[in-house]
Structure 1
Amino acid sequence: MQTIVSDLQSIVGDKITDFKTYWPKALQNISTKKFSSAIKNRKIKSIERFGKYAIINLEKNLAIVIHLRMTGKLLISTQVASGKDQGLKEKHIRHVFYLRAASRKPKTVLFSDVRKFATISLYDKKDLMNLKNKLGIDPLGKDYTPENFSDAIAKKPHKEIKDVLMDQTVIAGIGNIYASEILFEAKISPHRKVKDLSREEIRSIYKFSMKVLKKAVKLRGTSVSDYRDASGSRGKFQHRLSVYKKHGQQCKKCDTIIEKSTIGQRSAFYCPKCQH
């Protein structure tokens, strides 16, 4: 998400002139008519990421909050779809934000979502703060320190560490891919319970969470499935993966066969020899 939000900085200052949706169920607790009316002719003041959310801050303390889920993509286009919306619909484009830049040149943000899991919400300033307060610390934020990380995961002592890393109320922003890769680099089994981790092991997990996430951002994300950046290009971190979806293959460090299990209803990938 960080890569996409960075790309979206190019539309800051633009004005939303219209909005169309072909999948209104993505709009959370608001009708298409009310959503479109609320955001129309509003200037985009800033765009930020918090956890897995993209937050588009508008004039008058309104914010469009987007969660891409598994297959959502936000694509910036200068090819405005005038009279060709049916064609967009057939290419998994579920929503279109029409924009006008300061130069008055029109463009669009196309919201593609193959599996239709992504969501769009409209929050005022108070609701946005409430959302942020429900989420954990952001692993790319200034509050993400070794001490805060240790305190955060300590709230779930009896849960397995991989499940805790993915709990958005504990740490906001780590998904399945990065949780598996972080624990591999830290040499910690995903099945270990938080209460059984030593102080040194916790610091190692923190260290490699920073290292893995920063490398992923530098390589513009991980395209193992539908992920694309705002220009439609694939990321490159998938070429650096060590265990995610590598089950049945040899570990690159010890040649042991990588295993797959289920933790918290999500797949976990790990080397049974390197990770303990």
Structure 2
Amino acid sequence: MRRVILTVVAIASVFATRAKAEDFQGHFRPRPPEMTVENGKFSGPIKDVIEEALHTAGMTISWADVPFARSLKQLQDGDPVLVPRYNRTPDREAFSLFLGPIAVQKRQIRFAVRQGDEHRIKSYADLAALSIGVKRGTAYFDQFDKDKSLHREEAVDDQNLLLPLRAGHQDAAIVVDQIPFENAAKAMGWGGYAWADWKVDIEQGNYYAIAKSGPLAPKAAAIDAALKAMAANGRVKEIYAKYGLDPEHVE
């Protein structure tokens, strides 16, 4: 009898290990309207799309609120994490496997300044004279990302992007996600910023990523196939439509 019990426990252990091996740790961050965090709960089309793709491929995912700079570091380290809304850049190719894209999005890069300085930035050339707040690890647009002559000050999140601007220690902050920036300003009770005249229109593929050298890499092909199928057959658009959004034009 004891031998039977031990055998049953061993079999259960094997199945538990297999199930656990297919679970992903997803890194979430507030990027409304695509990714929303409220009272510790995660929602949005970015979450729904990948969960459906993983389900199709026989996998599951759990989520945690993680700053993007840390997500980037864990991908570089080969950790078993999945990062959504991940911009594809040449330097990230070395350590990232890109899943998707689920859409190519038309977006705008904006520059936040203090009120009264709206006309201070009218072209790219005007950036040379400014101190500019950037989010650590974020890719903006090619010319800006490669320009080593610019004076950048790194911040880990929108709040820390706003603080030196509010204090007058920084001239501008470059922003690719306008709504989270505005929400952070509202949360700190500061409305003394404005958007500079000049802005940059860009197109970005909306990817997920896992580490190229990590233990999840063998699952990349199955997930990528599921995501591409959802994009091709209109399922991605259906999911975004539930939130009143268009996956190619997200404000």
Global fold match (TM > 0.5) = no
> What TM-score, normalized by structure 1, do the two folds share?
0.24
> What TM-score, normalized by structure 2, do the two folds share?
0.26
- Larger RCO of the pair (alpha carbons < 8 Å, separation 6+): 2
